Amino acid sequence: MAITATETETTAPGAFGPAAALSCRECGERYDLAPRFACEFCFGPLEVAYEFGSVTREAIQSGPNNIWRYAGLLPVPGNVAELPNMNPGLTPLVRADRLAAELGMRSLHVKDDSANPTHSFKDRVVAMAVEAARTFGFRTLSCSSTGNLAGAVGAASARAGFRSCVFIPAGLEEGKIVMAAVYGGQVVAIDGSYDDVNRFCSELIGDPAGEDWGFVNVNLRPYYAEGSKTLAYEIAEQLGWKLPEQIIVPIASGSQLTKIDKGFRELVELSLVEDRPYKVFGAQATGCSPVAAAYEEGHDVIQPVKPDTIAKSLAIGNPADGPYVLDVCRRTGGAVARVDDAAVVDSISLLARTEGVFAETAGGVTTGVLRKLLDEGSLDPAAETVVLNTGDGLKTLNAVEAGVTATIKPSLDVFKEAGLF
């Protein structure tokens, strides 16, 4: 399996802003910026290393109302806001007083990323991958996806002028399939799980026919993953330039959780926020919870599972960042917990009923884990807490049952007789 760029792929000076190199998360070996994703020596995952310049709150606040206000902290060119892209980010941080009151909490916020252009947080990470693909000269944008990423790649490709071809497990929710296909790219369903799809995509990269393909979550993964840091930046800025005391993040590959932690630490290192303790909690559905199982059993190694849950966007049985999730949650004093599908559905309704936020199943998982951790006493009800909703409930309508209260004749008397006044 190829893990490096071809020799024709070069990096123009400044194309990646403050990014200085790729660094192995295991052995620390450094590489030039290229479409690599694994270390040649230890096969550890690579991530972007930076040499930050001067970044101030004032400069950020004077930037555009999207993720490009943080361009000085991302692997993108300084003029990124002028390039054709989806401009995701700066989604609402909803002050959830009614939900907090129902759960007995002092201060709770919902970071609602369903407000992104394709209604999920994936627009953030794909925006990073698009800029990397543009720099490396790729002509086709592709991915392995549980649904949301496929839609984000389709939309971003259409806007930026790439051909797109996405690969999904057969049996995804119909709404996510339609959203992936409507932008005009190819949508290929694979008879297998997400892990099967991901392995297939890795084989495609090794084939000469795929040399000009940029797979956003494979050979562009180090850049792509950095998009999740913008969640950390936005949350801190929206809280008045301070870190939350507790945050609950859903786990699929686990990358989102580890990058939010990376974003918080960068803000502290750059003196953009005060250094104070924060706890990171991971959330999984019981039907696909290998990281929660490892946490509960005190293990450092993730035992892969075959997913069986309605939370299909989190249905990754062998999460690449699983061990790093364990490190973050243990280091910060957080935890990893899981809830069953019934609790997911109930929590979707709870969030919608109290705050008017209609979450997809992943949002039901985080809200369910929030409630579970409070019941167990593992989460402080007096601490300032943020829970993530990463996608729109309209994409997973089959997970919930809701309908009309009553069907009546157009008559005031009938309305009163039905006891509906």
62-78 burial code (b ≥16 CB/10 A, e <16): ebeebbbbbbbbbbbbe
Nearest to 389 by CA among 240, 291, 239, 283: 283
Q: How many CA atoms lie within 13 A of 53 on its CB side?
A: 11
| Residue 127 per-residue DSSP state | H
How far is 80 from 63, CA to CA, in rounded Å?
12
Could you tell me the two tokens for 222? 């180090």
167: helix, strand or coil: strand
Show the CA angle centred on residue 159, arms to residues 157 and 160, nearest 5°: 65
How far is 89 from 411, CA to CA, in rounded Å?
46
Contact 285, 340 (CB under 8 A): yes
Q: How many helices (H) and strands (E) does the chain have?
A: 14, 13
Could you tell me the two tokens for 109? 């916020």
Contact 322, 291 (CB under 8 A): yes
How far is 129 from 326, CA to CA, in rounded Å?
26
Chain centroid to CA 74: how far? 16
In angstroms, the Cα distances linking 75 to 53, 67, 98, 164, 370 are: 13, 12, 39, 22, 33
Could you tell me the two tokens for 215? 């797979």
Could you tell me the two tokens for 153? 């790649």
Contact 344, 380 (CB under 8 A): no
Q: Which domains does the chain have, with CATH numbers?
A: 93-119+225-397 (3.40.50.1100), 121-220 (3.40.50.1100)
Place of tokens 């980010």: 89
pLDDT, residue 9, reads 47
pLDDT, residue 28, reads 97
Bridging pattern class, strands 46-50 and 19-24: antiparallel
Phi/psi-derived region of residue 262, left when phi > 0, alpha when psi is between -120 and 50, beta in every other case: alpha
Please list, in sequence order, all residues whose beta carbon lies within 8 angstroms of the beta carbon of residue 16, skipping any fewer than 6 positions away. 33, 48, 75, 76, 77, 132, 135, 223
Contact 242, 86 (CB under 8 A): no
Bridging pattern class, strands 186-190 and 163-169: parallel
pLDDT, residue 13, reads 62
Show the CA angle centred on residue 150, arms to residues 146 and 154, nearest 5°: 175
> Would you state the torsion angle of the CA atoms of residues 172, 175, 177, 181, taken in this order, to the nearest 10 degrees?
180
Nearest to 194 by CA among 314, 104, 95, 284: 314
How far is 72 from 93, CA to CA, in rounded Å?
22
pLDDT digit string (tens) for the chain, length 421 residues: 333 434 334 566 689 999 999 999 999 999 999 999 999 999 999 999 999 999 999 999 999 999 999 999 999 999 999 999 999 999 999 999 999 999 999 999 999 999 999 999 999 999 999 999 999 999 999 999 988 999 999 999 999 999 999 999 998 888 889 989 999 999 999 999 888 998 898 888 878 887 899 999 999 999 999 999 999 999 999 999 999 999 999 999 999 999 999 999 999 999 999 999 999 999 999 999 999 999 999 999 999 999 999 999 999 999 999 999 999 999 999 999 999 999 999 999 999 999 999 999 999 999 999 999 999 999 999 999 999 999 999 988 888 888 898 999 999 999 999 998 8
